[in-house]
Amino acid sequence: MKKKTRVIKAAMALIEKQGYEKTSVSQIVKEAGIAQGTFYLYFKTKSDLVPEIAKLILHEQFQLVRKYYDKTNKTYDDLILCLVKGTYELTRVRKTLINVLYSGLAFDDSFELWEEAYRPYYEWLEAQLKAHPGLSSKRAFVKLIVGVIENSAEKFYLFNQHEQQVETSMNDVVLFLKSIKMKEE
């Protein structure tokens, strides 16, 4: 594993265990098994890790969704179900880090970083939608799908809105997204 990746994964593990503020660069490099100076070859500050953590989490989510989708008949309904299942699962597992990402990226004026991190995911989803004749694969529709799913998963797991069971929450999102199949213009 490359040193930069080791640093990011070490930071993720420590932040999940003890929080962002209580995690120091010294702890990160010790966990990664590298010298302190090596950290600064890749990152100027600890906060520079936040966009890299975001990319890694999105990559994990993308891989999870693809793993589920590859085992289906690849219908639109399968796609929506896999997106919801993968997003909810990842949000449950990575909720501590996702909270850090929101606070870290919100202060950095880094909407471009979010767009860059999401690009492969959006492009994959666009390609899947194009495989279904008549459905819109416009980036705006793709962002709407991802946004609705992530918002629902985050409200459920991050904001402790457990008025309903996770299965009910997921089913509500699936039903909603199935009902709004955007047609090509």
Which residue, among 32, 46, 23, has the nearest Cα to 2 in the 3D structure? 32
Q: What is the CA 132 to chain-centroid distance, rounded?
A: 25
CATH 1.10.10.60 maps onto the chain at: 1-44
pLDDT attached to residue 184:
61
Q: Please, what is the average pLDDT of the chain?
A: 89
Q: How far is Cα 55 from Cα 62, in angstroms, rounded to an integer? A: 10
* Across 73-84, average pLDDT: 95
Q: What is the pLDDT of residues 27-73, one digit of tens each?
A: 999 999 999 999 999 999 998 888 889 889 999 999 999 999 999 99
Name the superfamily (CATH) of residues 1-44: Homeodomain-like (1.10.10.60)
User: What secondary structure letter does DSSP report for 44?
Assistant: S
pLDDT attached to residue 85:
97
pTM (2 d.p.): 0.87
pLDDT attached to residue 162:
64
* Across 161-167, average pLDDT: 76
> 183 φ, ψ to 5°?
-90, 150
Per-residue pLDDT at 107 exceeds 60: no
CATH number listed for the domain at residues 45-179 = 1.10.357.10
CATH 1.10.357.10 maps onto the chain at: 45-179
